Amino acid sequence: MGAVVAMLHAGLRCAFPAQQVLLAEGGPAPERGACLWGNAGPHRAAPEPATRSVRLSTRGGALAIPCAFPRLVEVDREHVWPLPELLAELLALPHVVGLAEIDGALHWVIDARRLPHA
């Protein structure tokens, strides 16, 4: 897979291909950044506060994603798996395309080109 930007978003680990990330910003996260997971339900643990943001290149233009702990990492292809078709149907999140093992933890792999642009 190559270089990805791994982060926590709304308490969940995720990774974007590095070429889709335009800018990683420090300081306060945007007040109305996009949410990758839809509505947060009561079953979800309290997320890490979004202290940073990344600006992604999507088909609809640049989009800010609030996050915590963004970092650039290299991921070997043998540590990346496409999302099984049944799981993709259950999630109903077309931008989630796979899983990657990064530093011993699984991360959702996100394709920013599939994100809806608000």
- What integer pLDDT is reported at residue 41 of this predicted model? 47
User: What are the distances in angstroms from CA 56 to CA 3, 91, 110?
Assistant: 15, 22, 11
Query: Would you say 3 and 74 are in contact if contact means Cβ atoms under 8 Å apart?
Result: yes
Distance (Å, whole) CA 10 – CA 2? 24
More confident of the two residues 18 and 28? 18
Domain boundaries, the chain: 2-114
- Which pLDDT tens digit goes with each residue over 69-104? 999 999 999 999 999 999 989 989 999 999 999 999
The structure's pTM equals 0.83
- What integer pLDDT is reported at residue 76 of this predicted model? 95
- Which pLDDT tens digit goes with each residue over 24-55? 877 666 655 677 876 554 445 555 677 888 98
More confident of the two residues 35 and 117? 35
SS3 sequence, the chain?
CEEEEEEEECCEEEEEEHHHEEEEECCCCCCCCCCCCCCCCCCCCCCCCCCEEEEEEECCEEEEEEEEEEEEEEECHHHEEECCHHHHHHHCCCCEEEEEEECCEEEEEECHHHCCCC
